[in-house]
Structure formats: C-alpha cells, structure tokens
Amino acid sequence: MLQLRYEALRRRFPNTLIALRVPIDADILTMVQAGTRIFHRTADYHGRVGGRFMREAIRDLHERLVAAGVREEITLRGRSFGCRR
C-alpha cells in the first residue's frame, strides 16, 4: 500500500523530492528497491525506538544499507519527538 501511494505521488509530482516518514526500526530495503531515496526516520520523545536509542538504530540501519550496496543512494533524516528546534 505504501509503495502504491509513493508511486502515485511520483507520477503527480515528477520533479519533486519525496521523503517517506517511517519509524527508525522499519525495514526500508523493500522501499529502496521500489525507488524511494529519502527517508525521515522517527523515534519516541526520549530518542528511543524498540527499546534502543535512536543512535544505535541508525548505526544498524547504516550497516544494513552498506551491506546491501545502496547506502550511497539513500538520504536519511532522523529526529525523535523530544528534540526541539
């Protein structure tokens, strides 16, 4: 379903950068294979997700993307709900 929405947005706004906002522990490799290149990763108010700190989850994600050979193609943004501007 998410892939269909993403593809519809790409068709409607072909010259626009589209970022998907998903939890930091979501598996994004299938979304990368579908063409998504920008991800806004989220965590809870305390910077935690799945019992771990966001920093650890980002490191794990980075290593999985490197192992899959796609890290250089992906932009990751991250923010916990506790961070203030």
Question: Could you tell me which residue, 52 or 78, shows the higher pLDDT?
Answer: 52
Model's pTM, two decimal places? 0.78
Q: What's the whole-number mean pLDDT along residues 14-39?
A: 88
Q: Structurally, how many domains does the chain consist of?
A: 1
State the chain's maximal CA–CA distance in angstroms: 38
7 assigned to some structural domain: no
Q: Predicted confidence band at 27 (pLDDT cuts at 50, 70, 90)?
A: confident
Kindly state the average pLDDT of the residues 66-83.
Answer: 80
Instruction: Give residue 15's pLDDT band: very low, low, confident or very high (50, 70, 90).
Output: very high
Q: Which domain holds residue 61?
A: 19-80
82 or 43, higher pLDDT = 43
Judged by phi (left if over 0) then psi (alpha if -120 to 50, else beta), residue 60 lies in alpha
The answer to whether 79 and 42 are in contact (CB under 8 A) is: yes
Predicted pLDDT of residue 85: 46
